[in-house]
Amino acid sequence: MEQDQAADLTRDPAAAAADGPEIPRYLQVFQEIRDRISDGLYPVGSLVPTEAELCAEFAVSRYTVREALRRLVEQGYVERRQGSGTHVLSAEPGSIFSQSMRSLSELFQYALDTDFRIHAMAMERLDEPTARLIGTEPAEPWLHIHGVRSAQGDGAPISYTEVFVPERFAWLQDEFPNCHGPFYALIEQRARVTVTETLQTITALPMPPESRTLFDDHRPEAHVLRVVRRYLDRKGRPLIASVNDHPADRYSYTMRIKRDGG
């Protein structure tokens, strides 16, 4: 049985595409602490500075520090113990890949923190199931890119990924293999368009053959969490779409839901 979860990731339409989204402060703090752990400045078994000390060092709020520490916990670097501080568990991320995204700037950072290698790329007319999956009309020509996203450092595969680019942007195909950030940002910069909204859907389904080969998982019960993202302009037209298959037992997605003002 399939289970779907959808979420909207939005930003100000006036955001400048050329420079890319600004990285939030909590991500900057997270990256700095993570790098210090990886470099041995905070060795395994030691304590990370207190929240108050980190607030003072980075000139940020306690909320910002807590969000950075939460991400370190999610990725297996540290453990927070009531009354005894934050302990370093590992200099490498844990085996479970965890995501928590609430904005395009976080998607931008995710692309910078991982590697994407293209395996194949060709213009195709979409069949009906694929068109329905990415929310467009069948038989339309799209640039279809196959590849693998992997973790930086150890190169462990994170997802089998397919990217779909409308024909009107296919002239960028020679630039995609050398793109070191998200493809949507390249399209924004080169085509002078702006992504104002991303529609994301997460679906659980049996692991497809290409993912079984990539993750070397041939168990009958193996599943993936398929994350489909459609990047839309202000008129709701798709500028690019991606389909990302993650092994279900090695992937988690966190969403923070707050009570509204009503």
Note the CATH number of domain 25-88.
Answer: 1.10.10.10
Reduced to 3 states (helix: H, G, I; strand: E, B; else coil), residue 192 is coil
pLDDT for the residue 55: 94
Q: Strand 4-10 and strand 85-88: pairing?
A: unpaired
pLDDT digits (tens, 9 = 90+) for 209-246: 999 999 899 999 999 999 999 999 988 889 999 999 99
DSSP assignment string, 230-242: EEE-TTS-EEEEE
pLDDT digits (tens, 9 = 90+) for 141-189: 999 999 999 877 667 888 999 999 999 999 999 999 999 888 999 999 9
First vs last C-alpha separation in the chain: 34
> Considering the chain, what percentage of its residues have pLDDT values greater than 90?
49
- Residue 3: pLDDT band (50, 70, 90) is very low
Per domain, the residue ranges of the chain are 4-23+103-253, 25-88
- How many CA within 13 A on the CB side of residue 123? 11
Q: Which two tokens stand for residue 14?
A: 């006036």
User: What's the CATH class of domain 4-23+103-253?
Assistant: alpha beta
- pTM here is 0.63
Of these ranges, 77-81, 108-112, 164-168, the one predicted with the greatest mean pLDDT is: 164-168
